[in-house]
Amino acid sequence: MIGRLRGRVLLDEATGPVVLDVHGVGYELATPVGTVGRSRTEPNGEVELWVHTHVREDALDLYGFASETDRRVFRLLLGVPNVGPKTALGVLSAMPVEELARALERGDHVRLGKIPGIGKKTAERLVLELKEKLRGLESNPKAPSNETLGTEAERLLSALTNMGYRPAEAERAVSALGPKLETESLGNLLREALAKLTP
């Protein structure tokens, strides 16, 4: 089983998989939205992804995450009835781990039910099964700079998708802001992102 990969990102599209070049071998990984931006990046430009290997009868799929915590939450989600890899990725794309933990803690079925692929019954099941397990979890605690960047990017993504923009559109607008994500306030970032989304 593959548990972790470090390499150069060859392809990172909002609507498709990430392709990571590890010593000449290109690994294709399905990832939550914004994973590469939140991942630990080495001085030489290599990115580290934590990997979950999903084996089926007809395929071997790889899923990549910015932190071991994100991967652990993904695996916990897979343990919930009627939640498969695609739905679990959707949950982690819709909200960061900390926000998910808060929604579960509050029993916020309405917020959870807005995630694509999560209906009322599944939202109730998520609260029942994961509320205690996700209490106190922190995402990527060993990389504060990337964590801060990831948090701002996630907040911005969440704001844009809540305003009705498609995740792929929002991801492109956020990515286009680049280094500004580290220096600008969320309000300024939102205005700039909206300017990029407006024809």
Average pLDDT, the chain: 81
Cα pseudo-dihedral 73, 96, 84, 28, rounded to 10: -90
Q: Please, which pLDDT band fits residue 52 given cuts at 50, 70 and 90?
A: very high
Per-residue pLDDT reduced to its tens digit, 84-133? 888 999 899 888 888 888 889 888 888 888 888 888 888 888 998 888 88
Residue labelled with tokens 């395929």: 59
- Residue 64 has a pLDDT of 92
3-state secondary structure 77-103: HHCCCCCCHHHHHHHHHHCCHHHHHHH
pLDDT at 63 over 90: yes
pLDDT at 28 over 60: yes
Closest CA to 36 of 61, 64, 71: 64
pTM: 0.65
